[in-house]
Amino acid sequence: MNITGRILVIEDESSLRKTLARILQQANFEVTTAESAEQGLDYLKTTAFDLVFTDLRLPGMAGLEALKQIQSTNPNIPVVLFTAQPDINSAVEALRYGATDYLLKPLKPEVIIERAKTILTNQQKEKRKREIIDEIETLQNELKQLEDNDKPITNTLPNPQIERFIKQGALILDLHTKRVSIKNETINLPPTSFEYLLVLARHAPNVVDFQTLVAEAQGIQAEMREAQELTKWHIHQLRGAIEQDSRNPSRLITVRGTGYRLVVD
């Protein structure tokens, strides 16, 4: 697969900004650079990007605040943060707010290229899946119209609903629109929280431990304590969305010291 994409790099240090641009351009990516978060956000208003790399520590608006704004206006754009001063709290907070990855300086060219290719490959796969589902649905609608006209055509196409929907009791997850419904009530979730609920639904009613939740929902191999903190944030969001009383949860059950499990009637 030929991996291409439009990447925005936000970095205030001129030499590093130019180096990152050159590395990514040599890997056949189209690159735009910004020297501040404010400039990067302005570019995002007028240009469609597939991926954003941003420094965590920037003059003016910090990278974490830029991440929050990107997630609020462009939730489907993956954002990778990097920093020269690693801090587990800032890393956890970045992942809580939807960062796809968190890298440490000095940045190695092979790591930058590998992360860009992996993220954009996954994006292209998801986009193609949605296109295939749309094509299948269109063909099925055409077949239904023909069958309604008493044409003797056998429907041998696969049912896209098998791949599109996951159902647990009254809870239905639409993998195409990334929406959740409970008893015909539609609930919109942040993309990462949706992935956490999807993992719990696939394993339900079994317990999913903290590290498995983080690994399957975000693709991150986290230490036990870090994974526990990450899952706590998303479970809090999910409980506020799907529980009748988030203080007394009956659907997202905590298994103390281990993880969580989903129980839906």
Per-residue pLDDT of the chain (265 residues; tens, 9 = 90+): 567 789 999 999 999 999 999 999 999 999 999 999 999 999 999 999 999 999 988 989 988 899 989 988 888 889 999 888 766 677 777 777 778 888 888 888 998 998 899 888 887 887 777 778 878 878 887 777 777 775 554 444 445 444 678 888 888 888 887 888 888 788 877 778 888 999 999 998 899 999 999 888 888 787 888 888 888 878 887 888 888 888 888 899 999 999 999 998 7
Q: CB neighbours of 15 closer than 8 A, spacing ≥ 6?
A: none
Burial class (CB in 10 A: 0-12, 13-18, 19+), 20: buried
189: CATH: 1.10.10.10
Say whether both 14 and 118 belong to one domain: yes
104: CATH: 3.40.50.2300
Say whether both 219 and 171 belong to one domain: yes
Residue 152 in any domain: the answer is no
Say whether both 163 and 103 belong to one domain: no
> Which domain range does residue 211 map to?
159-262
Residue 153 in any domain: the answer is no
Last residue of a domain, one of 98, 122, 146: 122
Specify the number of domains making up the chain: 2
Residue 29 in any domain: the answer is yes
Task: Record the pTM.
Answer: 0.56
Say whether both 192 and 242 belong to one domain: yes
